[in-house]
Structure 1
Amino acid sequence: MSIDAIISRYRTQSPTLPVPVAEEWDWQRQARCRGNDSAIFFPPNGSRGKAREELEARAKGICRQCPVRNPCRDHALASGEPYGVWGGTTAKERALWTHP
């Protein structure tokens, strides 16, 4: 299967969100992304090339210093989050990570 097909399939799957239990979401309170502009982590659909890469690099820089990077990434992988930077990973990276 081509990389484009893997990514397309990943993005079109319906996310399966975990049950909303406060204890399971408490890690978000410690996230370094809190208070930042969400556009850093969710680049506009029309962004391409260098502009998108710069936003993703900025988001990943914040994630690198985040104490809850792993739970954030694990949440995105478990729920099939098809957009944005979560736990220092892009949607494309997560799609490739979940497909052997």
Structure 2
Amino acid sequence: MTALLDWQSDGLCAQTDPVLFFPDPGSQARPAKQICHGCPVRPECLHHALTNGERYGVWGVTSERERRRLTTPTTTTAGGPS
């Protein structure tokens, strides 16, 4: 069993079934995100996910796809936005 980070024990997810935060591919992440919206450690959770490259699950109200968008550099084309 891994030790929890200081903030994790304060997360609402710690009081909820963890399966909810790791939905099957194609399943809705909305139920987990609704819990996240009221969580007092949401910023720490998102920071952890981005810093540690968490590839799976809902972290800090973001899905895997949303975190990829946050970390993937955007490219601009000539004449496009700078």
Q: Please, what TM-score do these two structures have when normalized by structure 2?
A: 0.79
Gaps of 5+ in 2: 74-82
Pick 1 or 2: higher relative contact order, CA cutoff 8 A, min separation 6: 1
1:85 paired residue among 55, 58, 79: 58
User: Runs of 4 or more off by more than 6 Å in structure 1?
Assistant: none
The alignment yields a C-alpha RMSD, in angstroms, of 1.8
- Please identify the structure whose Cα radius of gyration is greater: 2
Identity %: 44
The answer to which structure has the higher helix fraction is 1
Q: Please, what TM-score do these two structures have when normalized by structure 1?
A: 0.66
Gaps of 5+ in 1: 1-19
**Displacement of 1:21 after TM fit?**
8.6
Distance 1:69 1:62 in 2: 10
> 1:26-84: CA deviations, max 9, x gaps?
1111100113111110012xx42xxx12xx10100000000000000000000000000
